Amino acid sequence: MRIALKDIKPNPYRDLESYPLNQRKVDGLVKSIEATEVGFWDNVLVRKNAEGKYELASGGHHRLAAAMQAGLKDADFIVKVISNEDMLKIMFLENQQDVLRTPVSILMENMEATVKALAAGSIAVEVKDKANTSLRRYA
């Protein structure tokens, strides 16, 4: 689906202030976009949130920044229904593949995002019927 880049929001669980994009990586992507006739790659996954806004899910924060810096106005995106829990999982898996980040920063961002999501009630922890409730911990 063709969507204006300005209408794509970051993954709501990404903390871009504490864990900003790597500008060197963005610059490399800008060069790649400018060097190809194809421009932007169309395998970036987004979801529509409850307010009807699009949010990045997979393959995209650095690419979206690069596309905007390269002057693109819109691009093709894959739109799927994705739960909050899966948004966190996708973020975690993508962070693990980022060779420019340290394992500690990846773990910290994912843990912070999960705790905030639990506290906000946007995700829930499934507790099995036989679980010992006295051992539960709360965020």
Helices (H), the chain: 23-35, 61-69, 84-97, 103-120
Which tens digits make up the pLDDT trace of 84-94?
A: 999 999 888 88
**Separation CA 47–CA 54 (nearest Å):** 5
pLDDT in tens, 58-74: 878 899 999 999 999 99
Q: Is the pLDDT of residue 134 over 80?
A: no
pLDDT tens-digit profile of 8-39?
A: 999 999 888 888 888 998 999 999 999 987 77
pLDDT given for residue 46 in this prediction: 95
pLDDT (average), residues 53-61: 90
Threshold 0.85, pTM exceeds: no
